[in-house]
Amino acid sequence: MAGNTDFDLYRPSEEHDELRKVVRQLAEEKIAPHAADVDEQARFPQEALDALVATDLHAVHVPEEYGGAGADALATVIVIEEVARVCVSSSLIPAVNKLGSLPVILSGSEELKKKYMGPLAKGDAMFSYCLSEPDAGSDAAGMKTRAVRDGDFWVLNGVKRWITNAGVSDYYTVMAVTDPEKRSKGISAFVVEKSDEGVSFGAPEKKLGIKGSPTREVYLDNVRIPADRMIGAEGTGFATAMKTLDHTRITIAAQALGVAQGALDYAKGYVQERKQFGKPIGDFQGVQFMLADMAMKIEAARQLTYAAAAKSERGDADLTFQGAAAKCFASDVAMEVTTDAVQLLGGYGYTRDYPVERMMRDAKITQIYEGTNQVQRIVMARNLPK
């Protein structure tokens, strides 16, 4: 798996290009045919999970020493981008596996890494991330979920909201307050298993888009877990959560990039076939200018996203700014490009007979989750390059 990190402005290697071909073929053959039904039925894309696991593309970020592919950050971006090009719901499988497990990789003990990364790498388990709560969204440090020490155990109580792939994932990184007096420095991170007594889930949210990826509340009712399931030292959970997002916001940029590219690709084909006034509508300058602007913005988003992936791989000091910038810019581009794709298809674009209306609905979430784009601008303003 691709692992070249000696770069400044990232240029994908031949290995990355070959990976893209493999993922694109897989996505078009195994995932795209089910995308409309997954959306229509609001069902989990099991076909996508099976195909990704069969080709070891479900969690490519897991290091080789724990049984994973050891893919670098750009390779992970490419996998997510190419899956999102045909089905954003399915792209949340590799994306959320990284989001959920990265805290363990960044801050967990060797014992935790060996215990949980192996099943993830094999495809025997999925990983989710539990940060947000009903009253703690953008202000995540205001969470109320508590973890109380009881001998060699911690007992967790609380509710987590907007948890992607909840109920499907076997493992959950859960942030909980261990010292209420210290606010963000009193938050710790834990691994909770779906099978732990006291873990349950709310009904799936009825969403505008990404309907194939279940979003549910996670209820923690006196969930008693061994003390060695704490990720890192007590009180470091919030710092780990924020460090994780610095890296994984780039995967949201990748989703946005993929769905934008998928919409452009479909629109390009359509305008060459659709005829009005005696010629393809793609021959009209107004349409050509729209396509040119869409392609230009996608390419700008791609360069920003790939450069951020390079910084993620190296752990550069300006990663916080670059990750937020990539996520914010790419998701704004995705919303604009998918909306323009619907416009280019006219009335047909507004129907479910064509994929661009689904792409437009799916694109919207990239401006919201892992920090709204308003929050991304706050993050960027606080971390302006020097």
Residue 54, token pair as written in the block? 């069969």
Amino acid at position 133, single letter: E
For residues 242 and 105, the answer to whether their CB atoms sit within 8 Å is: no
CB atoms within 10 A of CB 176: 27
Instruction: Check 82, 217, 357, 370 and give the catalytic one.
Output: 370
> Is residue 81 annotated as part of the catalytic site, yes or no?
no
**How far apart are alpha carbons 386 and 381 in whole angstroms?**
12
For residues 24 and 265, the answer to whether their CB atoms sit within 8 Å is: no
Which of 168, 159, 143 is CA-nearest to residue 43?
Answer: 168
**How far apart are alpha carbons 73 and 94 in whole angstroms?**
12
For residues 229 and 112, the answer to whether their CB atoms sit within 8 Å is: yes
Rounding to the nearest 10 degrees, give the CA dihedral for residues 68, 212, 216, 375: 80
**How far apart are alpha carbons 198 and 206 in whole angstroms?**
25
Residues carrying an active site annotation: 370
